[in-house]
Structure 1
């Protein structure tokens, strides 16, 4: 029985491989399971049927694509941890508040300038939080920015030979076949036609993208602000300075007033000079409060006379229970503040900023408190029945002094890869070693910044692609299409090569498609007596410029996850974008050759 089944699979392996692929796409569109899960099911189907062997599966795990994406996610996590991303966002947001539409154009233009020289995967990883924050400032839904960003990043990579690894693979195969080497900007005119077409396509189609907010975008509208106070220490280096000029107020900290003695000054703060004991009333995120508590110029928050310094002990978040006897009273009068050696770093209230100052805040049910203290005091807080959910905060202080190291590690990674000194995966792994050794980011944070869904999706689809090759499905598709190519006119041949390459790239690894198709079209051109170079250019761009599925390109997978898109969103926007860009690129190839 089993022998009969094996013989049947061996005799029809190519067709079975295509049937598995078709079933996967039906499952993708139905979305009963996440895309990563469906991809994994597909890889399992190839393994169970014997169409994918163990070496092919191992090759998927050793492929540089998931290694590169995972490593770049860790480097991006280091940029976040050190505040580098925040600094970039603050500069862009400050400009966007004055010129929102112009800033969007400038950001997209800057990304297009960078993409031909940098690997577009790190570009997109860095740009995702920036785009989400820009969406909040400009009022444009984030889902209408992330997918266009990925499209332009991919098309930007088609502007130069070093813009994508696929271009380099095609160039290497073409050299081996006897063609003259491609110049670094030889494909720029054709890629530029694709960029213009991509921009037009996005302007026409962007309204078809959903407007609903991203649940986990982490935008400031979803992160509660805390009311706090910063007491100027006697040995502070800021004594004598004007509070409005302090660098911390150029970040995510807002100055609300200056408390001097019993008076709270709200106006004319640019004419005041700080004195020892002055208390700055501020609004800040939990991240900023955690960062400020490690500084040397302020005592942050409010505490009893015997409380330890703000930088000592653990920090927990807790919520005031409706049963708390102190509801309606001032925060300064809550018993545990005086009974325990703890410090209240800040208070947060849903959709409202408490006040007028930290000590004078009248407590309400569900107010959140950020409290620091030693372990014994924290345990007593947990035993308090009127405090809910007492737990160590997951928020970490920014390590801004380490930002130059994190930025330098990323810059070195991209530079080494762009100059072909070493593969980007190898450079990124070395960079991870550097940022861990220099404590830019802790190990658990580094591994936590890796998105498992994205990696599983990439690895599983690499395995599926290998399974299709081993089953003979790819060769079967090429054999079906070859008669169509040989009978086409030279002009039609360019269109057919481009869109066949594009179709295969939506299903398989871009680099694998380039390696399969390039020698076929070169030999076909030689047999027909035509110049193979235009066809090779069509393969270069067609293998990268695929937008119809989240599995078509690495950056598609990244924004698919970050933007919480559906598979159908990619199909609805990507198919017409593929057609518009393809027609423009092929038209440019025919016009310029």
Structure 2
């Protein structure tokens, strides 16, 4: 092999290794790969960012904005409520929900479809007394399957289309993916509804009123009248042992003390670090006379008074209010009339506070993969000051945090127990990209704008489907219409674009092209053909599909498609067969990330709400991937013959 071939293959191997390692975010890995190509002379500096102008990148950005519009107007909510049956068996309900998720994912972002339907899945699980994971995982897999049915359903399809266009054959049309994609998706949905959901590990107790998010780690304030005062840590552990809770630490004067000092006595003002099941948290707080700690770093929280014993089961929460502020102008206090005015003002203030206390609720919110909260802690967010809300507890994949609650950096998939008014919690969730677990508290339906959104989206799809204009132009026009008609507020339009996805696509498209220009893809393809496929086109097709599926389970599916497209085209060229068969195999394989929580964002999103572990995905995911392989290969040969 030539030096440039060895160099690009080395860069690709390191890139894949970094994707699987997961320590760096995928856009950082992609950008590092691109710059490595530039520094080694494989890409000219002036051509380094040419991939960012690729139609696939533009189309993905547009689809993200359009998905935000469909979400914010409530355009899909009514459809979801009508399609998913209120009565009947669980099999039909899961089938309807999964099919709806797949259909929505064909025309909007997968994560957006998942976020819209998660509350529906919650209600379904509660109604049928099932652990939420039994419904969440089928929904996640359904939205992933649905993405393979259209050109805009998932970024890998757009990348595959771009590689085909680079060969001179032109890109794929809107529904060129549909014949194979629909067959695979339908078979997958039938499997998930009849058999698959039964294979999902049950990580929660049936009949739970909320998601089992594992255990919450929370900080509880020891008040002046708390029963915990004077008790040793060892005594507290025994006191709450029957409530499925445990004391894992103590914070005294901002210093954390481990339970390795069981004889340490608790004093007023201390913070107890308690790990408890969501349903047990209220009981523990009541029995010990503790209160959930507000954000100590906020100016508002610093003046806050927190009431004790919140009732989690009925939605009533603790109350945080500011210190006394007199509304009486200076000088009025010297007159009798002024004193009466002061009394009235104080009474009005008390009434207002009482009303505010009644309005406070608790909500469980999941941090989305594109949330602005990721990597930031509660003490940096100033929640009480900015949103008049408090972070009360955190659950992360059932694992205990080793830091203070307020200083723990948040991660994708974390479940947050938040307290505040309905309006403030909705604003926080919308602005910071979180999704509620139990209820649809965020969506503010607007029928007029919903109809506008659906009509504009239908016209955009039609424009691309009938070849009236390229997909990127058609959807960019729809985005302009959304902005002009205020379907998506101008301030939120660009917030809907996931910058990490744009960087990932723009960088890796250029890197993948180097595989072709240096001939490295030909070398890999020849090695695969001679040693594994034995020059047999059918074996080669199966091999491409299996390798793509395997890579997509451990690295970003768009990155997988970018790497495998060049190899697929080279294999087809060397065998002198139809390249469409192999490109479509890459498209199918890149949309089959069912074995791990890291292969697709939707799998990550359900990790904490479902109480799942890393190995909980393969019991349903592995049979599904084998089924996809058995169905996809003959369907590919029928629709795109060799």
Same fold flag (TM > 0.5): yes
How far 1:420 moved relative to its partner?
2.1
Q: How far off its partner does 1:422 sit?
A: 1.8
Instruction: State the TM-score, normalized to the length of structure 2.
Output: 0.52
In the TM superposition, what is the alpha-carbon distance from 1:107 to its structure 2 partner? 3.5
Q: Is the 8 A contact 1:84 1:407 kept in 2?
A: yes
What is the rounded CA distance, in whole Å, between the counterparts of 2:158 and 2:616 in structure 1? 23
| Structure 2 counterparts to residues 164-175 of structure 1, below 5 A | none
Matched, 1:349 2:360: yes
Pair 1:546-2:594 in alignment: no
Q: Normalising to structure 1: TM-score of the pair?
A: 0.55
Matches within 5 A, 1:236-275: none
CA 562–407 in structure 1, closer or farther in 2 if over 3 Å, else same: farther
Structure-2 residue corresponding to 1:72: 63
Deviations 1:366-387 (Å, cap 9, x if unpaired)?
999999xxxxxxxxxxxxxxxx
Can you list the C-alpha shifts for 1:503-560, whole angstroms capped at 9, x where unaligned? 79968574785576447526624xxxxxx46x7435423443324669x9xx975536
- For the pair 1:153 / 2:197, whether they are aligned, the reply is no
Match of 1:38 in 2: 29
Against the structure 1 CA distance between its residues 17 and 341, is the aligned structure 2 distance closer, same or farther, given a 3 Å change threshold? same
Change beyond 3 A, Cα 1:492–1:38:
closer
- Kindly indicate whether residue 575 of structure 2 is the aligned counterpart of residue 524 of structure 1: yes
Q: Deviations along 1:309-356, whole A, 9 cap, x unmatched?
A: xxxxxxxxx963386699xxxxxx98484699999789433459xxxx
Check conservation: 2:188, 2:628, Cα contact below 8 A: yes
2:321 alignment counterpart: 321
Task: Give, in whole Å, the separation in 2 of the partners of 1:60 and 1:154.
Answer: 23
After TM superposition, give the deviation of residue 428 of structure 1 in Å: 1.6
Greater CA drift, 393-402 or 24-33: 393-402
Q: For 1:178-327, list aligned pairs within 5 A.
A: 188=179, 192=183, 196=187, 200=191, 203-204=195-196, 207=199, 320-321=320-321
Q: Does 1:133 align with 2:119?
A: yes
Residue in structure 1 matching 2:521, options 455, 462, 474: 474
Task: Tell me the C-alpha RMSD between the 2 structures.
Answer: 5.6
| Contact 2:148 2:181 survives alignment (8 Å) | no
Confirm whether residue 581 of structure 1 aligns to residue 628 of structure 2.
yes
Partner of 1:537: 581
Unaligned runs of 5+ in 2: 126-131, 205-209, 214-317, 327-343, 364-382, 389-418, 431-443
2: CA distance, partners of 1:105 / 1:434: 35
Q: What does the per-residue CA deviation read over 1:449-487, in whole Å, with 9 as the maximum and x for residues that have no partner?
A: 222333333333334323434454323212323435884
CA 1:463–1:410: 2 relative to 1, 3 Å: same
Structure 1 residues 508, 26: CA separation in 2 closer, same or farther (over 3 Å shift)? closer
Asked if 1 retains the 8 angstrom alpha-carbon contact of 2:80 and 2:100, the reply is no
| 1:430 Cα deviation after fit | 0.9
Match of 2:18 in 1: 27
| 1:100 to partner: Cα distance | 5.0
TM-aligned CA distance change 1:169 to 1:517, over 3 Å: same
CA–CA separation in structure 1 for the residues paired with 2:114 and 2:511: 28
Question: What is aligned with 1:412?
Answer: 459
Q: 1:279-334, CA deviations, whole angstroms, 9 ceiling, x for partnerless residues? A: xxxxxxxxxxxxxxxxxxxxxxxxxxxxxxxxxxxxxxx963386699xxxxxx98
1:105 maps onto 2:95 in alignment? yes
**CA contact under 8 A between 2:525 and 2:571: conserved in structure 1?**
no
CA 1:536/1:484 → structure 2, altered by over 3 Å: closer, same or farther?
Answer: farther
Aligned to 2:602: 559
Q: Tell me the SS of whatever aligns to 2:49.
A: helix
Question: Structure 1, unaligned stretches of length 5 or more?
Answer: 1-9, 213-217, 222-317, 327-332, 353-365, 372-387, 526-531
C-alpha spacing 1:570/1:437, structure 2 compared with 1 (3 Å): farther
1:12–1:368 Cα change, 3 Å: closer
CA distance in 1, matches of 2:617, 2:518: 27
Contact 2:137 2:197 in 1 (8 A): no
Does 506-515 or 399-408 show the bigger shift?
506-515
User: How many residues get paired?
Assistant: 427
Q: For residues 455 and 54 of structure 2, what CA distance do their matches in structure 1 show? A: 26
Q: 2: CA distance between counterparts of 1:569 and 1:463?
A: 34
Using the alignment, how far apart are the partners of 2:357 and 2:474 within structure 1?
42
| SS of equivalent residue, structure 2 residue 76 | helix
Segment drifting more, 84-93 vs 20-29 = 84-93
Residues 367 and 335 of structure 1: CA distance in aligned 2, closer, same or farther (over 3 Å): farther
| Segment drifting more, 461-470 vs 435-444 | 461-470
Seen in structure 2, the aligned counterparts of structure 1 residues 336 and 210 have a Cα distance that, compared at 3 Å, is farther
Matches of 2:90 and 2:631, distance apart in 1: 30
Relative distance call for 1:577 and 1:342 in structure 2 (3 A) is closer
Alpha-carbon contact 1:66-1:458 (below 8 Å) kept: yes
- Mark the CA change 1:561 to 1:448 in structure 2 (over 3 Å): closer, same or farther: farther
- The aligned residue for residue 61 of structure 1 is 52
Task: Give deviations 1:169-188, integer Å, cap 9, x for gaps.
Answer: 798899969xxx99x89994
